[in-house]
Amino acid sequence: QVQLVESGGGLVQAGGSLRLSCVTSGVIFRVGLMGWYRQAPGNERELVARITSGGSTYYADSVKGRFTIARDNARNMVYLQMNSLKPEDTAVYYCNRVPADNQYWGQGTQVTVSS
């Protein structure tokens, strides 16, 4: 069964850092474009960063300069390094293809940033 499993979330104070990890199967990973999404309570899920198989990246304006997406093609892993976290970054974070494939949403990992 194809799965995406996110980890690395937690509770952190504003200004702190977290590193999220996503392990997936080659079936998903070989598509090429992978991304990190987040959903805060009452909000729609949004794409915050994406990365091509070659390493080209894109960031939403809200996280640009603070978040870094990376991938390990040999391990089918995608990472999100989050620095200078703000309370508005509080959300459940998910990884998925870009554009997202609804059959592959995992449980996500909760990130809570206290002020």
pLDDT tens sequence across 78-102 = 999 999 999 999 999 999 999 999 9
Q: Which residues, 6+ apart, have CB-to-CB distance to 57 below 8 Å?
A: 49, 50, 51, 68, 69
pLDDT at 2: 64
Q: Note the pLDDT tens digit of each residue in 10-57.
A: 999 999 999 999 998 777 777 689 999 999 999 999 999 999 988 999
**82 vs 76, more confident:** 82
Q: How far apart are CA 72 and CA 34, in angstroms?
A: 11
pLDDT at 59: 98
Q: How far apart are CA 6 and CA 23, in angstroms?
A: 7
Collapsing DSSP to helix, strand or coil, 45 comes out as: coil
Q: Note the pLDDT tens digit of each residue in 48-67.
A: 999 998 899 999 999 999 99
28 φ/ψ angles, rounded to the nearest 5 degrees: -80, -45
pLDDT at 12: 98
Question: Is 8's pLDDT higher than 70?
Answer: yes
Alpha helices in the chain (DSSP H): 26-29
